[in-house]
Amino acid sequence: MGAEALIRWRHPKWGFLAPMDFIKIAEESSLISRIDAWVMDRACRQLAEWDHAGRVHSAFVMSVNLSARRLSDENLPALISETLARHRVDPHRIELEITETAMMQSLETAAHSLAAVKRLGVRLALDDFGVGYSNLDYVKRFPIDKLKIDRSFIRGKNAQALLLIDAVIQLGKKLNLQVVAEGVETDEQREFLAASGCDMAQGYLTGRPLAVEAFERVLERH
């Protein structure tokens, strides 16, 4: 159904770095804007390349995580529309993942720029839902297409945890949102989620984070 673009940094001295090792620091400087622009460019370029080679179907969606800082940047819609145009990517094929914390930091600008992004035709997903404030006002106020249930929920095993997952799924469905479960690792979890009506699953069960070449080998097998 799609892929989520994840960033890694091959550092000459420290080796392979995960986002948690450098995104916070980048967010404190202006570098995060350049990283965001680069990630958006790479994701669109990759999708265009896969389309061209016939590796993915025309409904394949590329998800891109957006930093809190970028969300409050009023140039965001322009950056996105330029990048889409440069690679001739249909806006419906790109989905921006945003977190509540990011929206909270600049409610007014975020609402404004997300509405503009949405008008371009780009899809919006609320990431890590269920942890943090889970403020339903945001779900109402922002033009969200998809809820991504945080992995920590999916790990829960007792009856109460399962009830909560089910309740969040029903909430999403009632609001006409697509619901995705993050961090799905076992068949048992997948079966429970499917029975609750969850639309999609993401996690080690369906695929670990992979480099482009390895992901292409997975595409070949499908």
- Binding interface with Mn ion (CB under 5 A): 65, 97, 127
2 vs 91 by CB, closer to Mn ion:
2
DSSP H or E stretch at residue 11: strand 9-11
73 vs 97 by CB, closer to Mn ion:
97
Spell 124-134 as b/e; 16+ CB within 10 A means b: bbbbbbbeeeb
36 vs 97 by CB, closer to Mn ion:
97
Nearest approach, Cβ of residue 4 and Mn ion (Å): 6
Q: 3-class SS at 25?
A: helix
Please give the single-letter amino acid code of residue 133. Answer: Y
DSSP H or E stretch at residue 15: strand 15-17
The string of DSSP letters for 121-144 reads T-EEEEEEETBTT--HHHHHHS--
Nearest approach, Cβ of residue 105 and Mn ion (Å): 17
Nearest approach, Cβ of residue 20 and Mn ion (Å): 13
Q: How many helices (H) and strands (E) does the chain have?
A: 11, 9
Nearest approach, Cβ of residue 148 and Mn ion (Å): 7
5 vs 79 by CB, closer to Mn ion:
5
CA distance 117 to 190: 32
65 vs 189 by CB, closer to Mn ion:
65
Nearest approach, Cβ of residue 216 and Mn ion (Å): 21
